[in-house]
Amino acid sequence: MKCTRCRKETAEVELPSHNAAFCRECFEIFFLNQLRKAIKAFRMFRKSEKILVAVSGGKDSMSLWHALVSEGYNVTAMFINLGIEGFSDLAEEKVRSFAGKLSSGLIVIKLKEEGIPIPEVTRIIRRPACAICGKLKRYYFNKVAADNGFDAVATGHNLDDETSRLLSNILHWKLEYLEDQAPYLPEENVFKRKVKPFFRLTEFEIAAYAFFHGIDYVTEACPFSKDATFSFYKKQLNMIEYNSPGTKIDFYQGFLKTLRPIIRGKKQEKALSFCKQCGYPTIGDLCIACLLKERISLGSVKDQTSF
């Protein structure tokens, strides 16, 4: 099959949702156009601003880091070593080596050194790893961004992540989560602007970009990934997309245009105070990181409700 854009080269990537099939060169143009459209439509950031890219070592975040650097943005990556044996150190190695290749800045936080590695926390607190992991990641990305004068935190969430989360939140009518679901969340208190420049791109498209650029990313799944809730919804949406190409982007864009404006501002804001240990905005006396550090040092499993 010939590329539907240049009509000369052989197509290497078929994209039924765009009614297109691209050769390698035209795919790159398509991919970067989707990224540029996303950044422009939501005014995510400018070239003069400092962007912190949250990097896990997986294909999405590594590709985002690569694409933003190649687009000339002022990017620093941040990696959190979760302290998961046989997984976290390997991911850190790949991220460090990629930072060298891109000549890009990198900040690494090690949860072991912080005294709260994920396996230890999960064992003591007896809560699903992903719930705690997500909160800790948010804490460190926000804190590092605020402490180091970054303008925005960018994550590699793609269209599959966004639509699976959306489907789950709609099926269970989690309005408080729906309100926070957007490719752009403005700065609030000390929380920096949060953006998802890959929200128009699918996992498949990002995997193709990573492959064409020879990005060496982590392919092993996190041993706790069975705790992740959205993979079931991803599978269902892939079946729908297969039968009706273009449904995912319509579903997500439709939500942003129709439902989100109606529910925005309805959420009851909880009164924020500041963590007595680290000064981070929180609800209650201690933030998630300081609370976990305290629990781990006490070896306590009491009062799990606050997590």
Task: Report the interface residues with ligand SF4, using CB under 6 A.
Answer: 82, 118, 129-130, 133-134, 222, 224-225, 227-228
304 CB burial (10 A radius; 0-12, 13-18, 19+): exposed
Cβ atoms of 25 and 9 closer than 8 Å: yes
Beta strands in 56-190 (DSSP E): 74-81, 105-110, 152-154, 184-185
Least separation in angstroms between CB 124 and ligand SF4: 15
Beta strands in the chain (DSSP E): 13-15, 20-22, 50-55, 74-81, 105-110, 152-154, 184-185, 193-195, 273-274, 281-282
Total residues contacting Zn ion (rule CB under 5 A)? Answer: 6
**CB nearer Zn ion, residue 49 or residue 294:** 294
Bridge-partner residues for 77, per DSSP? 53, 106
Which of 74, 128, 278, 281 binds Zn ion (CB under 5 A)? It is: 278
Which of 287, 292, 293, 295 binds Zn ion (CB under 5 A)? It is: 287
Does residue 108 touch Zn ion according to CB under 5 A? no
**CB nearer ligand SF4, residue 20 or residue 228:** 228
**CB nearer ligand SF4, residue 223 or residue 245:** 223
278 touches, from Zn ion, ligand SF4, none (C-beta below 5 to 8 Å by class): Zn ion
Which of 69, 95, 290, 296 binds Zn ion (CB under 5 A)? It is: 290
- ∠ Cα 74 55 110 (to 5°): 115
Which of 17, 168, 238, 277 binds Zn ion (CB under 5 A)? It is: 277
119 CB burial (10 A radius; 0-12, 13-18, 19+): middle
Least separation in angstroms between CB 256 and ligand SF4: 25
**CB nearer Zn ion, residue 17 or residue 277:** 277
**CB nearer ligand SF4, residue 144 or residue 249:** 144
Say if strands 50-55 and 74-81 run parallel, antiparallel, or are unpaired.
parallel
21 touches, from Zn ion, ligand SF4, none (C-beta below 5 to 8 Å by class): none
Q: Please state, in angstroms and rounded to a whole number, the distance separating the CA atoms of residues 191 and 146.
A: 7
Bridge-partner residues for 54, per DSSP? 78
Least separation in angstroms between CB 142 and ligand SF4: 16
Q: Please state, in angstroms and rounded to a whole number, the distance separating the CA atoms of residues 3 and 162.
A: 29
224 touches, from ligand SF4, Zn ion, none (C-beta below 5 to 8 Å by class): ligand SF4
- φ, ψ for residue 229, nearest 5 deg: -90, -20
Least separation in angstroms between CB 84 and ligand SF4: 7
Least separation in angstroms between CB 285 and ligand SF4: 26
Collapsed DSSP state (helix, strand, coil) of residue 102:
helix
**CB nearer ligand SF4, residue 161 or residue 205:** 161
Sites of contact with Zn ion (CB under 5 A): 275, 277-278, 280, 287, 290
